[in-house]
Structure 1
Amino acid sequence: MAHSLESAAANALRLVLERIEVAVHQAGRSSSQVRLVAVSKTKSVSVIKEVYDAGHRHFGENYVQELIDKAPQLSNDIQWHFIGHLQSNKAKNLVANVPNLYMVESVDSTKIANSLDRAVSGLERKSLKVLVQVNTSGEKSKSGVEPSECIELARHVYTQCPNLQFSGLMTIGMLDYTCTPENFKMLANCREEICTALGIREEGCELSMGMSNDFELAIHMGSTNIRVGSTIFGAREYPAKQ
């Protein structure tokens, strides 16, 4: 009965956190090494608030306008992650209208990096954490730089974008949003190469990989940031086509 008053989303969050704890323990890691981002794409502010009220603070959104609409309606201590494909002409709008934007996980070109850098420079806010998105599955439908180009883009962010903080790498995986061990291994290899090239410690370079279907495997393979949506919030709710 202890959990009978929990909302469905809060209960689901608790179960995901328990699964993370088990996976972390099995991998011989500490739970402080893995961040859970609750992906609230298409979900109402009221449902997000239920998860917030359960103690969660990191949330992810895929669309600029949706995040701009939701952020002011929720507490400003939420740490928002933008995880969708970002068009360079929307970078300024995103940064200006979401002051508690914590991280952009989907930087896949120097153009987007430069746009974000300019957007942050025009505001009185601390540097913005960004991840370089890598296309580890080789699918044309997926955003992200080729693994062979990840060092070049990471170096650009690290050396040419003073208002951005290069924080690591992100990958999405296959069309069904699951990754194979090879996808995860490829991202870890990219991190190794980047850290060697830039002279930075691997502990300071995040791996954002793993979603609802594969986050336990991702934790075993070194993920520091997992993005879970439907397992917490249920299936995505898209408006019916007219």
Structure 2
Amino acid sequence: MATSAAMDGVAADALRTVLNRVQQAADRSGRVAQSVRVVAVSKTKPVSVLRQVYDAGHRCFGENYVQEIVEKAPQLPEDIEWHFIGNLQSNKVKPLLTGVPNLAMVETVDDEKIANHLERAVASIGRKPLKVMVQVNTSGETSKSGVEPSGCVELAKHVSLKCPNLEFCGLMTIGMLDYTSTPENFKTLANCRSEVCKALGITEEQCELSMGMSGDFELAIEMGSTNVRIGSTIFGPREYKKKEST
């Protein structure tokens, strides 16, 4: 069985490979690699492995579950920029914000209710405005969260105009696992950005696109993504605890 140190080294090496692939995809899209943020998604991985990726120079990490990010964040350096990228329930908003003072962004605001909960929680603890993205369900799959594309403008306007403690900074989507369909999903999100920018009177540079994961991040970058969420390609397969047999 591989030692922990060996596993950690693999993650750091994988990060470097990913950053090189990001560089090449950015070159193909006519942009600089610095215009693309890589969120290292460390779901189910131990703090020791995250620390190795941190020591390799990376500072942006993402988690899908509140319990996991609240447990990991205090064990790691404060200069990490944490992104929450999972479905967020109302009752988990306060624990998330109080448990992770260095939370940089919530990428999964999918309705006015959760926006309002975040707004009140940020105000109550007195932290700086929280950056948020509006999650859009571009694939039409009922298993995925996100506002319908037709509702993204209204939700973005609500965050921008009615939530002074939130900073609207872009749109996020999860493409279909069938990667032949993701170009359409990504194109839909880009179209949503055009509509949102027009409605809010902002430039496209002021509205990020978070799209692309381990299997499709290069395509996403070529189609304009500024934020890619990469887990297994950096950290390896997720490690779920096996249920004990009865």
Q: Per-residue displacement from partner, 1:67-115 (whole Å, max 9, x unpaired)?
A: 0000000001000000000001111110111000000000001010000
Instruction: Indicate the residue corresponding to 2:3 in structure 1.
Output: none
Contact 1:179–1:214 (Cα < 8 Å) also in 2:
no
Which residue of the partner structure matches residue 230 of structure 1? Answer: 232
1:125: how far off? Answer: 1.6
Q: 1:213 to 1:188 in 2, by over 3 A?
A: same
Q: Which position in structure 2 is the counterpart of 1:90?
A: 92
Are 2:63 and 1:61 aligned?
Answer: yes
Question: Following the alignment from structure 1 to structure 2, what is the Cα–Cα distance between the partners of residues 178 and 56?
Answer: 31
- Candidates 200, 210, 224, aligned match of 1:208: 210
Give 1:220's aligned residue: 222
TM-score (structure 1 length as normaliser): 0.96
- Which residue identity lines up with residue 196 of structure 2 in the other structure? I
Correspondent of 1:162 among 161, 164, 176: 164
Q: Give the Å deviation of 1:175.
A: 4.2
Give the superposition deviation at 1:124: 2.7
Q: Distance in 2 between matches of 1:34 and 1:177?
A: 21
- The answer as to whether partners of 1:40 and 1:229 remain within 8 angstroms in 2 is yes
CA shift, 1:178, in A, is 8.0
**Distance in 2 between the 1:10 and 1:211 partners?**
18
Deviation at residue 177 of structure 1 after TM alignment: 7.8
1:179 offset after TM fit, Å?
A: 5.4
- What is the aligned length? 239
**Residue 193 of structure 1 pairs with residue 195 of structure 2:** yes
Which of these residues, 71, 74, 80, is aligned with residue 73 of structure 2?
A: 71
- Please tell me whether residue 17 in structure 1 is matched to residue 19 in structure 2: yes
- From the superposition, tell whether residues 122 and 171 of structure 1 become closer, same or farther in structure 2 (CA, over 3 Å): same
Query: How far, CA to CA, are the matches of 2:93 and 2:178 in structure 1?
Result: 28
Cα RMSD, aligned residues only: 1.5
SS state at 2:224 partner = coil
| Distance (whole Å) between structure 2 residues aligned to residue 215 and residue 175 of structure 1 | 12
Q: CA contact under 8 A between 1:179 and 1:210: conserved in structure 2?
A: no
Displaced runs of 4 or more, over 2 A: 175-179
**Structure 1 pair 179–61 and aligned structure 2 pair: CA distance change class (3 A):** farther
In structure 2, how many angstroms separate the alpha carbons of the residues matched to 1:73 and 1:178? 40
Which amino acid letter does the alignment assign opposite residue 156 of structure 2?
A: A
1:35 equivalent among 34, 37, 40: 37
- Where 1:213 maps in the other structure, the secondary structure is coil
2:127 to 125, 128, 142: 125
- CA deviations over 1:150-179 (Å, ceiling 9, x no partner): 001100000010100000000011146885
Q: Distance in 2 between matches of 1:101 and 1:187?
A: 25
Q: TM-score, normalised by structure 2?
A: 0.94
Counterparts of 1:74 and 1:178, CA distance in 2:
38
Which amino acid in 1 is paired with 2:134? V
Counterpart amino acid of 2:67? Q
- On the 8 A contact 1:177/1:211 being kept in 2, the answer is no
Q: Distance in 2 between matches of 1:184 and 1:54?
A: 30
Is there any run of 5+ residues in structure 2 with no aligned partner, and where? 1-5
SS at match of 1:16: helix
Q: Specify the alignment match of 1:181 in structure 2.
A: 183
Paired residues for 1:77-156 under 5 Å:
77-156=79-158
Deviations 1:38-60 (A, max 9, x none): 00000000000000000000000
Q: CA deviation at 1:182?
A: 0.6
Percent of aligned positions with the same letter in both sequences?
70
What residue ranges of structure 1 are gaps of 5+ in the alignment? none
Query: Is the partner of 1:122 in helix, strand or coil?
Result: helix
User: Which stretch of the first structure deviates more once superposed, 35-44 or 116-125?
Assistant: 116-125
